[in-house]
Amino acid sequence: MNSHYFFKLGMGNNLFEHRNEGESLALSIYFNNEKPGWKIEPYLKNGRFEEERFKDEANTLNISFTGISQVPLFVKTSLQENWTYSFFWIFKHPKVYVFQPIGLVFDGEIKDSEFQGHQPKTMPTICKRVLNVEAVPEFFAALNANQGYNRRTIRKFENSIHLMAEHLLFPKTEKLEIKPSKKFDFLSPVQFETLVFLIFHHAGAFCSTFRGGTRPGIDLLAEFSAPPVIPGFLAPGKYFLQVKLKNTDVPKPASGHRNEFLIWLGETDYEHRVLGRDWIDSQVSSNPKVKKWLNRSLDFLQFKQ
């Protein structure tokens, strides 16, 4: 099975320079607390990576494993057995680049005198594909602005992101086929928040935003001047909405704040003012304008039963 990875070369990919398909590139992973002269080569024996010894000796050198936690993943993708099945995605507007390993990680060099002696772990790769950002679905193209990805150097794609990467590189059909119940997983965080905005707007609410940290933990304000017509909202007034494109690890609204709601992809729990995937789906289905917007946003998908 193929594995796909988000990769960032320097802050905001400032160390990345354009490559054409078929051209080579040395990908490097840096970490601030590396000890000068600490090499990766001794941990690579007979085509294998001695990960546990790597961790143990990091501890001996008083290096927190948290600071180097991405290194083992990077090194293991460079093992020859993984070359055929590993792909690194670099997002640098206006292009998206895909690279494939062609060699084992080695100790590179930093020419900057300030870091003399430090050796970034470096992997030879070749450019497999270059895509225009405009040709890539928004939820996928937006990964470079997603803090779950851009705060790291490397992160493995999972679930809908993995499926989209596979489809872009190895399409089996014109559109990616998925089950209808998974459609919201193919929205970006901004698109998902926009969808919730449209649900309330077309239900007769004045809908504003709390962008820029005006009110932490709140994403949207919905104000009904008349009794609401959507389930979960009983009276006119202001409702503060936290919108999360997640189905786990999200705290529920505090019990004392009856006008605060969580809208997410988990289960609905009216008692605790939590509205989930089924609630969103029913609201989309009941409003043709919202449904039209969603279908247009997901026009790269083909639904299968």
Q: Each residue of 215-241: pLDDT tens digit?
A: 777 899 999 999 998 999 989 999 999
Q: What are phi and psi of 45, to 5 degrees?
A: -125, 125
Residue 256 has pLDDT above 70, yes or no: no
| Structural domains present in the chain | 3-172 (no CATH), 185-297 (3.40.1350)
Predicted TM-score of the model (pTM):
0.91
Query: 15 or 224: which carries more pLDDT confidence?
Result: 224
pLDDT digits (tens, 9 = 90+) for 28-39: 987 655 566 788
Choose among 156, 160, 157: nearest CA to 183: 160
Q: What are phi and psi of 304, to 5 degrees?
A: -125, 150
Choose among 69, 63, 56: nearest CA to 35: 63
Query: 254 or 270: which carries more pLDDT confidence?
Result: 270
pLDDT digits (tens, 9 = 90+) for 145-172: 888 898 889 999 999 999 999 999 999 9
